[in-house]
Structure 1
């Protein structure tokens, strides 16, 4: 493909991509034994590409240090959280010079060099796509699935499957395959594994039912498990006048109109899921994948939302509010019910607690409107892939870096409190150019903490579980500093808490990950954004009554005609290739 053609493709794609350096868009709040046969003291010299990969497995050292320093060039983005929450608390350190980069150099003989660093996703995407088009690429880059396929099609990256198989430790493989092979599929083409996933957790993205349990207690109400019971709770909340101002100004359910299907406060994915509807993901029906947002179950859920709007349960101005703006009602004690992800207790509900120390938000499994236990939809937690320049002669070095990052953060010989989440700089892991995470780490941390709680002894906790328990202990101490950690207790504390509810749904098979985990198809790249805008517009119009519920059927027909049918055919062609 000619460079001018590549430039056109890459710059067009830049308008729809999102990327934050070499990590995933994290849903977490912020271990098992490592491979016993590794030897961190051994050395090996640099070799041309393919030389080490051709050695026998017995000769491959997953942590082998290069006798001569090996320089690897990366690119990355930064953001305000890295500057204010990490670097500001680590005097003398920067993205280019920090203890993570020192660790790679001291233990592996790998010197990380950044060809460029930019701030924010948009600028990164623009610069990355220009670099791809001009073939002026670093040795290693972390890219979206769309960029990954473009790099593969342009012949700019090398195969990594055999290198990973040979050099990855048993613990690395255990971690990166916690969710099966789904994270790997978007980096695979025609059976060849080019991209390695920057793994992240999927269960962390499910919606939960958040309720002001102190309000339930005041009204002598039980926690609802069906949508009929939810409607009763909301009705009583709206009419209770908890603040005693004599006005009917309590919002029944938080709804964020500009992020209707997001995971923040006021997102409605959990509401739809209660009706057996799964907007925004692909689900399997009769052996084929279908787009959840156009299925008849969504029509039923929308009819219920319209009825709630008519009854005054929904803020009439919801359509212009994002999650942050909608969450102000919760912070002010004007809303006591919302769906959303596990971290909502950090924001906005910590603000509720700050304003009213007697308030208490708790997270529960999703209710049901169908008579059967509801299933929560989840996005694949992996949304970045590591691509290695075809001209880079030491691809095994990338796998060694993955091994070291995972071992330091979650391995038996690691120190999570130092390398991942030290109290003074909890996002310190972001200083690493490689950020492959343990997908089930948050849930496992909860399980470890819960087991320790049941035993009555939390002193044996290690790694991330210990770091979290330290926060809980601070909260339980009753100190002013500990009060600010109430949100963490609501995530990892005893039931009802975020991860107690996630664990309940997970153990009972009530979490469904998006069935389409491949790279965006051609039609998706061209039309999905427009189709999603059309979806959000008709959903909002139906809720407020500007469109009738039967207009949903017209929307489905238009959706399919304007690209939905083609997109579905492409998705199922992919699906048949990976079954």
Structure 2
């Protein structure tokens, strides 16, 4: 048969199927009634599945019987958010945990770094009325636009039904203003990000330099500045390269920046770049007060005496980083997390660099109330019409409550991300939810576990991760900069704040008003402050600056802010 093909004539498929069905029906009709197989009753399974769906849709941690997918607009981070090799924004510790616990999976509509690219994508999505199922929104103005346009879902019932009691306690720890910022006409339209209390700025000094020069450890601002002056005069770094207190040209670090001198302003009861209440209960811009003028006078004295780095006007942040890393600078102001950045690079370069935090309590007692700004606040919203708006409440409950106390493969993987410095932007939704005093709660628990005051079984997964790292560092089994940074930030720094008598700042809410300072006035302020500090302008020039500020739009802005605050009091 080689070289030949055998063909078999095929009947059309439809003819075959019809014939088979006919034969089956004929045969079944010939069978006795009792021999016929009754169709399987799956109604019980269907009811069980329906109950699963209902439970999932109305509870914080009920698992969906089938995978629920959602498109997502999110802010990404630099360097792929420091995710381990192989992990992506759609497949990482967070998404694997969420699949395991809730059976939800994100598909990114757009994942772009914060700034121009993300803002452009957000603006385009809103303008085209084509937003992802779930989206991170920057600023209350954008949130208000989405509410007014009817594009996002009402999440009031989602919050009530699908968040745990712990999550509700976390939001409540900020008072009413946080959820109020996402509420319109009595209805909640977004889950807001929280900003935990990071405590006051502390002065970080090279303690090994203090000991080398046989100096007394400082307890007041004046004593601390004398220590820094001694660093410079004795050229403790050598080769004439020792610089004084690191200082950025921005002057004010706020909650996120580095190398500010905010604490020196606080010493005088000043709060530049913030709207505050004066002694008369009137809203004023903190950069314009007489207390700010006094602080600028003191900064000028520090500059003239060599305490402040004499070349600070010429340095960018990366230049100061190099000075710290190379051991040429031994004094910076920073928050509790300064050991993670920038001091870890200093320790990595020189293990004898013994940076210690000093909380100058007397100066911090002059801290005054400032208004919270929602200009850069983040919110998570859900597209109106999306079938499962409840996934936002479930996500928050699983990631910020349940995972912290679970002890399985997926939860451990989530908590390990903290110890390997994966950026929070790796999470599907770029918000954080925690208690306002979360820093002090976790710091105390870690310290007590290290001193055997409590069992490690009482620690959350996150705390256990830090505890393991800190214990390894203390016992000498971990000598890396990350180990030093974990212990110095989470134990040494937090303990310093607690012993110094931490004072939780009371936040104020000024209502719906654009209180952002125009760039022209920001530039005027920065230029004036720097000129006074380095002596290019006399201190009394500050009074001229205040007049110019009000005349160039500042008075109109102040009036609108005062009016908005008055409305909130009603």
TM-score tier (shorter): 0.7 to 0.9
Q: Secondary structure at the match of 2:217?
A: coil
The 1:162–1:284 alpha-carbon spacing in structure 2 relative to 1, beyond 3 Å, is farther
What displacement does 1:469 show?
1.6
In structure 2, the residue matched to 1:43 is 52
The 1:529–1:421 alpha-carbon spacing in structure 2 relative to 1, beyond 3 Å, is farther
In structure 1, the residue matched to 2:236 is 242
TM-score for both structures, normalised by structure 1 = 0.79
State how far apart, in whole Å, the 2-side matches of 1:187 and 1:529 are. 27
8 Å contact from structure 2 (residues 74, 108) kept in 1: yes
State how far apart, in whole Å, the 1-side matches of 2:523 and 2:277 are. 23
Q: Where does the alignment leave 5 or more consecutive residues of structure 2 unmatched?
A: 1-49
1:159 aligns with 2:154: yes
Q: Considering only CA atoms, is the larger Rg found in Structure 1 or Structure 2?
A: 2
In structure 1, the residue matched to 2:442 is 445
1:285-326 Cα deviation digits (max 9, x unpaired): 233332222221111111111111112222232123233322
Please give the root-mean-square deviation of Cα atoms over the aligned residues, in Å.
Answer: 3.1
In structure 2, the residue matched to 1:553 is 543
8 Å contact from structure 2 (residues 90, 105) kept in 1: no
8 Å contact from structure 2 (residues 249, 313) kept in 1: yes
The 1:243–1:45 alpha-carbon spacing in structure 2 relative to 1, beyond 3 Å, is closer
In structure 1, the residue matched to 2:21 is none
TM-score for both structures, normalised by structure 2 = 0.80
Worse-superposed segment, 372-381 or 326-335: 372-381
User: Of 302, 310, 316, which residue of structure 2 is paired with 1:316?
Assistant: 310
8 Å contact from structure 2 (residues 249, 312) kept in 1: yes
The 1:397–1:564 alpha-carbon spacing in structure 2 relative to 1, beyond 3 Å, is same
Aligned residue pair count? 511
The 1:101–1:442 alpha-carbon spacing in structure 2 relative to 1, beyond 3 Å, is same
1:444-500 Cα deviation digits (max 9, x unpaired): 22110122234366644442221112221232243564455212221123xxx2212
What displacement does 1:267 show?
0.8
State how far apart, in whole Å, the 2-side matches of 1:152 and 1:423 are. 35
8 Å contact from structure 2 (residues 515, 561) kept in 1: no
In structure 2, the residue matched to 1:468 is 466
State how far apart, in whole Å, the 1-side matches of 2:100 and 2:418 are. 24
The 1:165–1:322 alpha-carbon spacing in structure 2 relative to 1, beyond 3 Å, is farther
Q: Secondary structure at the match of 1:97?
A: coil
State how far apart, in whole Å, the 2-side matches of 1:380 and 1:178 are. 18
Worse-superposed segment, 132-141 or 390-399: 390-399
State how far apart, in whole Å, the 2-side matches of 1:563 and 1:189 are. 30
State how far apart, in whole Å, the 1-side matches of 2:510 and 2:473 are. 39
State how far apart, in whole Å, the 2-side matches of 1:564 and 1:140 are. 38
8 Å contact from structure 1 (residues 260, 267) kept in 2: yes
State how far apart, in whole Å, the 1-side matches of 2:507 and 2:235 are. 41
In structure 2, the residue matched to 1:37 is none
8 Å contact from structure 1 (residues 142, 386) kept in 2: yes
The 1:421–1:557 alpha-carbon spacing in structure 2 relative to 1, beyond 3 Å, is farther
1:266 aligns with 2:259: yes
Q: Secondary structure at the match of 2:203?
A: strand
What displacement does 1:543 show?
0.8
What displacement does 1:46 show?
10
1:392 aligns with 2:386: yes
In structure 2, the residue matched to 1:79 is 77
The 1:395–1:122 alpha-carbon spacing in structure 2 relative to 1, beyond 3 Å, is same
What displacement does 1:552 show?
1.4
State how far apart, in whole Å, the 2-side matches of 1:517 and 1:105 are. 40
The 1:482–1:377 alpha-carbon spacing in structure 2 relative to 1, beyond 3 Å, is farther
What displacement does 1:68 show?
5.0
What displacement does 1:120 show?
4.5
1:275 aligns with 2:268: yes
The 1:101–1:350 alpha-carbon spacing in structure 2 relative to 1, beyond 3 Å, is closer
In structure 2, the residue matched to 1:100 is 94
State how far apart, in whole Å, the 2-side matches of 1:574 and 1:158 are. 27
8 Å contact from structure 1 (residues 259, 323) kept in 2: no
In structure 2, the residue matched to 1:530 is 520
State how far apart, in whole Å, the 2-side matches of 1:259 and 1:455 are. 42
Q: Secondary structure at the match of 1:345?
A: coil
Q: Secondary structure at the match of 1:115?
A: strand
Worse-superposed segment, 273-282 or 148-157: 148-157
8 Å contact from structure 1 (residues 42, 64) kept in 2: no
User: Of 508, 529, 534, which residue of structure 2 is paired with 1:515?
Assistant: 508
Q: Secondary structure at the match of 2:532?
A: helix
